[in-house]
Amino acid sequence: MSKVPYEVYTEEVEALSVLSPDGEIINKDKLPKLTDDQLKEIMYRMVFTRTWDDRAVNLGRQGRLGFYAPVSGQEATMIGSEYALQKEDFIAPGYRDIPQIVWHGLPLYQAFLYSRGHQHGGQVPDGVNVLMPQIIIGAQILHAMGIAMGFKLKKQKQVAITYTGDGGSSEGDFYEGLNYAGVYKLPVIFFVQNNGYAITTPFSKQTAALSIAHKAVAAGIKGVKIDGMDVLAVIKAVQEAAERGRNGEGATLIEAVTYRFRPHSLSDDASKYRSKEEEGEWNAKDPIARFAKYLEKKGLWTEEDTARVKEEAKAKVNEEIKKAEKTEKMTISGLIDSMFESTPKHLEEQKADFK
């Protein structure tokens, strides 16, 4: 009888980087093909998103937004991964992944409405392929898997991408989604933004695996780990994963190692579980500063450009929050009517209690 070689894959996976912290190209083979205009557009979106995040935190403190999960530090993973997609591709986001769905077509004022607890926030316009943000940590992983099966059944060359964090990678739904995607060879990208903390729980207490990317092995899909503070590495990895999906080669799990500069949410104090040293180390890897150095060396970006985009972003955010604030409030009868396609009699009767 031949001996079955039981081997466990335990080698460390090195994270793909394209740019050094100084903005030098260190991995020429993995440099995504992008025009100068595209590079500038990516930078524009990252600076815009950072400004919007700063503003959103203030709006949250003023009580003009509801639940809001800060994104600063994660601009490379969010902007880069969305930029690598086509408009027809589908995004199933987690609660923090608002920038991806906005850059994919959800109007910004609707993102604010979502935060303010208005259902119009999730009323995605026709032709925009996104779901509203998901609160249950792993549920969207399964939706993306189902959406990807839809693309496959319709023989459309689109992909679905879904996001969760290092904490989300511990959910049962994460494993079920990866496993189904492997079995059915689905065009789906599982994008894990490993920002080191699930609210306060550090990565070391989340899993004994050497990386989240390793978890792809068990599902029979491709797993890669990337430097999540390097927007070019993110774009390259998602482009490759999308191409694999479109070519019928199945799913990819991407682990992007990143950091959220702010706490998990506005009601949480990060100083209780993170050290100043750690925050300093990650600040030095700021994805916007790193990409700016690269663009400045190419003569494509200046500090004035950053200042201009910030002003534009502030004006746009003000305009959109006002639009959100002016949107007619939800009503109980509207809420009742949104339960079913046609409102059953007992619910019609219940409306009378709120007149």
Partner 1 sequence: MAQMNMKEAIRDALRVELKRDPNVLLFGEDVGHVGGVFRATEGLQKEFGEERVFDTPLAESAIGGLAVGLGVQGFRPVAEIQFVGFIFEALDQMAIQASRMRYRSGGRYNSPIVFRTPFGGGVKAAELHTDSLEGLLAQTPGIKVVVPSNPYDAKGLMIAAIRDNDPVFFMEHLNLYHAFRAEVPEDDYTVELGKANVVREGSDVTIITYGLMVHTSVKAADELEKTKGIKVEIIDLRTVSPIDIDTIVASIQKTNRAIVVQEAQKSSGVAAEVIAQINEKAILHLEAPVLRVAGPDTVYPFAQIEDTWLPTPTRIIDAVNKVLEF
Contacts to partner 1 from residues 55-94, by CB under 8 A: 92
Largest interatomic CA distance in the chain = 79
Q: Which residues pair with 253 in a beta bridge?
A: 190, 223
Residues 315-344 that bind partner 1 (CB under 8 A): 335, 338-341, 344
Is 282 in contact with 73 (CB distance < 8 Å)? yes
The alpha carbon of 301 is separated from its chain's Cα centroid by a whole number of angstroms, namely 25
* Residue from the set 43, 57, 132, 161 that interacts with partner 1 by CB under 8 A: 132
The correct pick among 5, 63, 127, 172 for binding partner 1 (CB under 8 A) is 172
Quickly count: other Cβ atoms within 10 Å of residue 249's Cβ: 14
Helix (H, G, I), strand (E, B) or coil at 274: coil
Burial 261-272 (b: 16+ CB within 10 A, else e): bbbbebeeebee
Please report how close the Cβ of residue 180 comes to partner 1 at its closest, in angstroms.
5
Looking at 10-18, 60-68, 76-84, 176-184, which segment touches partner 1 (CB under 8 A)?
176-184
**Closest approach of partner 1 to the CB of residue 118, in Å:** 9
Q: Which residue among 38, 58, 119, 331 contacts partner 1 (CB under 8 A)?
A: 119
Instruction: Identify which of residues 18 and 102 has a Cβ nearer to partner 1 in the complex.
Output: 102
Quote the tokens at residue 18: 């394209």
Asked if residue 245 lies in contact with residue 159, where contact means CB atoms within 8 angstroms, the answer is yes
Point out which span in 7-15, 117-125, 206-214, 303-311 binds partner 1 (CB under 8 A).
Answer: 117-125
Catalytic residue annotation: 260, 264, 273
Q: Which is nearer to partner 1, 143 or 316 (CB)?
A: 143
Beta bridge partners of 257: 194, 227
Q: Compare residues 303 and 341 and give the one whose CB is closer to partner 1.
A: 341
Q: Does 136 bind partner 1 (CB under 8 A)?
A: yes
Binding residue (CB under 8 A) for partner 1 from 23, 105, 107, 122: 122
CA separation for the pair 328, 120 (Å, rounded) = 10
Query: Among residues 44, 52, 112, 180, which is the contact residue for partner 1, using CB under 8 A?
Result: 180
What pairing do the DSSP bridges indicate for beta strands 222-227 and 188-194? unpaired
